[in-house]
């Protein structure tokens, strides 16, 4: 830990009080001049720090940056997020995370960036992550599963994001199968799971999560009437570090549950927060469209559709997209 991080931790530990220069000198074994230079560096990074004679220094406000110094100290997690790799800009956090996984990084390692220039979603779609507004990060996992079971973790991540969003007042987030999180019918988060595997086992799994946090309506306008952000939904700016910490904590809790009890309890949680479960839906493939009732998912995360002739058909996430049926009553469940 460098001097800047140590001073920041000391200031945070006493916030909103002061920390004397003498105390900082003793803790870091450095001169007052060195402390002053470090404080000035923190100010240039966006930290508001007050200096008062005979009182010392105190932290007034922190910038909304995704540096681990801003979210690691308050993270309540057993595994996920305890190790972090931060880059100000990158093409894709998933690519960085996969390279770290190949090198054997610890399970739960998080790769996070301020700006992602070539992010991607399902079916090769692009995912934009503008600086200071979006939240893009990836998590490295080493689950002992076969490749067919990887979709379980996309669903686990989606439930974690929903639970994190619902910590914010007035946010009723829901999952859209297989990998999106919606608020009021508009997309606020996308999830992309990528793996390296052998024939019968996954070597490592990377969960990429992109969240629209502080984008304005004007910034979202090029996407049409399809996307929203936590800022738009709440009516005010939202702390990205707070959202990140909440998602990581929920991921850690659900991953611990999966390790202890398997997919069954997560499947139940997923059904409770999923759009159109039990409702008429349209499943669109490359060359054909099916309509039926969204009846269930299997243990591999595949969608089970009940057709009009009472037969069922199973769909995998890489094949199709899902929409509500024009015949749907608009309710979440059929009675």
Q: Taking 70 as the threshold, does the pLDDT of residue 330 lie above it? A: no
Q: Are residues 82 and 220 in the same domain?
A: yes
Task: Tell whether residue 146 is among the known ligand binding residues.
Answer: no
The answer as to whether 167 is a domain residue is yes
Nearest Cα to Cα of residue 304 among 288, 320, 289, 316 = 316
Residue 137 has pLDDT above 70, yes or no: yes
291 or 3, which is more confident: 291
Residues 72 and 55 in one domain: no
38 within domain boundaries: yes
Mean pLDDT of 278-290: 90
Residue 261 lies in a domain: yes
- Residue 288: give its domain's CATH number: 2.30.30.100
**Average pLDDT taken over every residue of the chain:** 90
In a domain, 330, yes or no: no
Q: What is the pLDDT, as a whole number, of residue 335?
A: 28
Do residues 177 and 314 both lie within one domain?
no
Query: Where residue 22 sits, what CATH number does that domain have?
Result: 1.10.10.10
Q: What domain count does the chain have?
A: 3
Among 102-106, 128-132, 215-219, 314-318, the range with the most confident prediction by mean pLDDT is 102-106
29's tokens: 């074994």
pLDDT at 331: 35
Question: Is 54 among the annotated ligand-binding positions?
Answer: no
| Model pLDDT for residues 198-219, shown as the tens digit of each residue | 888 999 999 999 999 999 999 8
**pLDDT higher than threshold 70 for residue 263:** yes
Together in a domain, 170 and 143: yes
C-beta of residue 190 within 8 angstroms of C-beta of residue 210: yes
Q: Known binder of ligand: residue 187?
A: yes
User: Tokens for 199?
Assistant: 């024939």
What domain range is 294 assigned to?
A: 280-324
What CA–CA distance (Å, rounded) separates 231 from 246? 16
Nearest to 137 by CA among 243, 64, 5, 216: 243
Do 122 and 239 lie in one domain? The reply is yes
Annotated binding-site residue? 138: no
Dist CA 101 CA 106 (whole Å): 8
Domain assignment present for 335: no
* 93 among annotated binding-site residues: yes
Does 2 belong to an annotated binding site?
no
CA distance 36 to 150: 50
The answer to the question of residue 331 being in a domain is no
At 20-69, the pLDDT tens digits run 999 999 998 999 999 999 999 999 888 899 999 999 999 998 888 888 87
- 220-245: average pLDDT: 92
Q: How do beta strands 110-120 and 84-90 pair?
A: parallel
Answer for the pair 69, 241: CB distance below 8 angstroms, yes or no. no
Query: What is the biggest distance separating any 2 CA atoms in the chain, rounded to whole angstroms?
Result: 82
Q: Is 310 annotated as a binding residue?
A: no
pLDDT grade, residue 318 (50/70/90)?
low
The answer to whether 120 is annotated as binding is yes
């Amino acid at each position: 830990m460098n001097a800047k991080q140590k001073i920041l931790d000391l200031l945070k530990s006493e916030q909103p009080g002061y920390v004397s220069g003498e105390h900082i000198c003793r803790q870091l074994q450095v001169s007052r001049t060195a402390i002053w230079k470090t404080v000035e560096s923190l100010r240039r990074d966006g930290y508001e720090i007050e200096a008062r004679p005979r009182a010392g220094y105190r932290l007034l406000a922190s910038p909304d940056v995704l540096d681990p110094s801003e979210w690691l100290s308050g993270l309540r997690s057993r595994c996920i997020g305890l190790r972090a790799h931060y880059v100000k800009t990158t093409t894709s956090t998933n690519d960085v995370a996969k390279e770290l996984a190949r090198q054997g990084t610890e399970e739960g390692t998080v790769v996070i960036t301020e700006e992602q220039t070539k992010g991607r979603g399902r079916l090769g779609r692009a995912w934009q992550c503008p600086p200071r507004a979006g939240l893009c990060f990836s998590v490295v996992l080493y689950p002992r599963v076969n490749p067919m079971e990887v979709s379980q973790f996309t669903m686990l991540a989606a439930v974690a994001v929903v639970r994190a969003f619902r910590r914010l007042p007035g946010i009723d987030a829901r999952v859209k199968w297989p990998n999106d999180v919606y608020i009021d019918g508009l997309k606020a988060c996308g999830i992309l799971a990528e793996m390296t595997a052998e024939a019968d086992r996954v070597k490592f799994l990377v969960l990429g999560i992109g969240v629209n946090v502080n984008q304005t309506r004007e910034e979202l306008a090029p996407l049409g009437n399809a996307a929203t952000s936590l800022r738009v939904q709440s009516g005010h700016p939202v702390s990205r570090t707070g959202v990140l910490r909440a998602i990581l904590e929920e991921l850690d809790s659900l991953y611990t549950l999966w390790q202890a009890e398997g997919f069954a309890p997560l499947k139940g949680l997923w059904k409770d927060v999923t759009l159109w479960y039990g409702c008429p839906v349209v499943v669109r493939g490359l060359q054909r469209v099916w309509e039926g009732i969204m009846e269930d998912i299997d243990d591999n995360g595949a969608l089970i559709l009940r057709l009009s002739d009472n037969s069922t058909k199973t769909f995998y996430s890489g094949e199709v997209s899902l929409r509500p049926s024009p015949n749907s009553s608009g309710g979440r469940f059929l009675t």
